[in-house]
Amino acid sequence: MSAAPTPAAASGGCHGGRETMLEAARAAGKSEALDRYATDYPKGPHDQPQSMCPAFGSLRVGLRMRRVATILSGSACCVYGLTFTSHFYGAKRSVGYVPFNSESLVRGQLYEDIREAVFKTAKPEDYDAVVVINLCVPTASGVPLDLLPKQIDGVRVIGIDVPGFGVPTHAEAKDVLSGAMLKAARLEAEAGPVARPRGARDLPSVTLLGELFPADPAGVAAMLAPMELCVGPQVPAREWRDMYAALDCVAVGATHPFYVASVREFHEAGRPVVGSAPVGLEGTAAWLEAIGRAANVPADKIDAAKARTLSAIRTALEANPVRARVTVSGYEGSELLVARLLIEAGAEVPYVGTACPKTEWNAADLAWLQAHGAFVQFRASLEQDMHAMRDARPDLALGTTPLVQEAKQLGVPAAYFTNIVSARPLFGAAGVGAMAQIVAAQTRGAARFGEMREFFEGVGVRDVAGYGWQGVPDPHPESRAKFRKMREARVKAEAAVGT
């Protein structure tokens, strides 16, 4: 039964004070999960990148799977935001929600309500698994999802805590659920026969870790064919039984480097894991070599795979040179790969910022980028990304929504990493062509950005910003001065208290 929450836990949230929430969660018995997250997803230099609610990553992974139900347990405002975002990104599925109030939280009734919802949902004719996600307040209150039954009539029950004060990014939250599911699937496979994965595979397979553009796995399959390897189901998976096939591989390509809990499960299953990905000429050569060796492929077959793929990439690079200075920022985990590809295509990339951490699986990309003059910032804050973009004055800034907005205000061509870059192929020759097209299309309009900036100069910025004006609003510099004085006085008063 859950411990009674502290008042801070009951009222906290994104703005409730991270340390207070952490303290409450530890006091309520969540130390083990929080310690594991602290090891798997190390913080620093910036603790909490400014991105969406981390739980969205877990929610998305569950919603994309066939025959998997997802139930959220959290504050209504969090659930509203998360369901809104999931439907914005095209989830055609319902999201379950177990609401609570102060009383049901304090008396431990929330756990009973979740349990009842799980029993009602877990029907084997409808689902293979039910995922329950504790958001910030239930985690800080110690709602014990680990006490839920592991299976109900053959339907697995996967309960995870995904608090914003324990999991830094939504990228890493994808790993929290993927890792938990892989663990359950691995234990099932170890205990006895499991369902046969869809689609027969005649060749030993390689599992790709990370959400990829749909054409990329097919491109990788063509690269692996001369080594007599195929691409198996990806993780995050699309179906429960895919996880058995993903585990039953000869090697894993950690193409996104933050799947630490998932990697742990592959290691437990005795599978070798290879970092980086087949991007550009050098990246692809190194990746094919590493995968071939991990899968014990004879050297002549590795050479044959490299010869075939690399000649196509070389031709694509010659046909698609990129002549531009580009800054790269994002929170998806593929930022270093994108920067590698840009540099190989001829671009100058002075800065790469990623909300994700440095791991063993992006170490080779980091070394390569540093050797090619790029500054790489892990756990980058929006301020660091903005500063780098202003400082570098690139021909194109790839980044998150607020960065792109700032770039456009400065008259710098900019494109959204998620909507533009991640919506195109990245690997092999296809990636080269796609990247060149993105840069050409976005930089072509550089003059237009300048004209727009000139046209809107001074409108809707600083103290003349706002909606509903008929004309250009009047500036009010005296208000600005008044609030500045108040701030200065408050700082002085606080300093005086300390002396």
Interacting residues with ligand SF4 (CB under 6 A): 13-14, 53, 55, 74-75, 78, 81, 135-136, 164
The widest CA-to-CA distance across the chain, in whole angstroms, is 76
Token look-up 């691995």 returns 186
Nearer to ligand SF4, 137 or 398 (CB): 137
Give CA separation, 267 vs 80, 182, 362, 405, in Å: 37, 11, 18, 42
Nearest approach in angstroms of CB 419 to ligand SF4 is: 22
Residue 5 Cβ vs ligand SF4, minimum distance, rounded to whole Å: 14
Q: Of 74 and 275, which CB lies nearer to ligand SF4 in the complex structure?
A: 74
We find the least distance from the C-beta atom of residue 136 to ligand SF4, in angstroms, to be 3
SS3 33: helix
Q: Residue 207 pairs with which residues in a beta bridge? A: 252
Complex with ligand SF4: residue 29 or 81, whichever CB lies closer: 81
State the Cα–Cα distance between residues 140 and 163, nearest whole angstrom: 8
Q: Where are the beta strands (DSSP E) in 15-62?
A: none
Return the number of the residue (51 or 354) whose C-beta is nearest ligand SF4: 51
Nearest residue (CB) to ligand SF4, 168 versus 257: 168
Least spacing, CB of residue 131 vs ligand SF4, in Å: 15
Residue 5 or residue 253: which is nearer to ligand SF4 going by CB? 5
Q: Which of 33/369 has CB closer to ligand SF4?
A: 33
Q: In what order do the strands lie in the sheet with 68-73?
A: 96-97, 68-73, 129-134, 155-161, 151-152
Strand pairing class (414-416; 396-399): parallel
**Residue 428: partners with Cβ closer than 8 Å, 6 or more residues away:** 219, 220, 222, 223, 278, 284, 309, 312, 313
| Closer residue to ligand SF4, CB minimum distance, 53 or 105 | 53
Q: Minimal distance in Å, beta carbon 87 to ligand SF4?
A: 16
Cβ 335 to ligand SF4 shortest distance, Å: 22
Least Å from the CB of residue 328 to ligand SF4: 26
Least gap, CB of 75 to ligand SF4 (angstroms): 6
What 8-state DSSP symbol labels residue 147? Answer: G
Report residue 210: phi and psi, to 5°.
130, 150
Residue least distant from ligand SF4 (Cβ): 164
DSSP string, 364-431: HHHHHHHHTT-EEETT--HHHHHHHHHHH--SEEEE-HHHHHHHHHTT--EEEIIIIITTS--SHHHH
* Spatial distance between the Cα atoms of 297 and 274, rounded to a whole number of angstroms: 14
**Do residues 194 and 244 make contact, with C-beta atoms less than 8 angstroms apart?**
yes
Total residues found in the chain within this entry: 499
**At closest approach, how far in Å is the CB of 269 from ligand SF4?**
32
DSSP 66: T
Closer Cβ to ligand SF4, 166 or 179, answer by number: 166
**Measured from the CB of residue 9, what is the shortest distance to ligand SF4 in angstroms?**
11
The three-class DSSP label of residue 284 is: helix
Q: Which is nearer to ligand SF4, 14 or 363 (CB)?
A: 14
Integer Cα distance of 184 and 162 in angstroms: 18
The residues that bridge with 133 in the sheet, in sequence order, are 72, 160
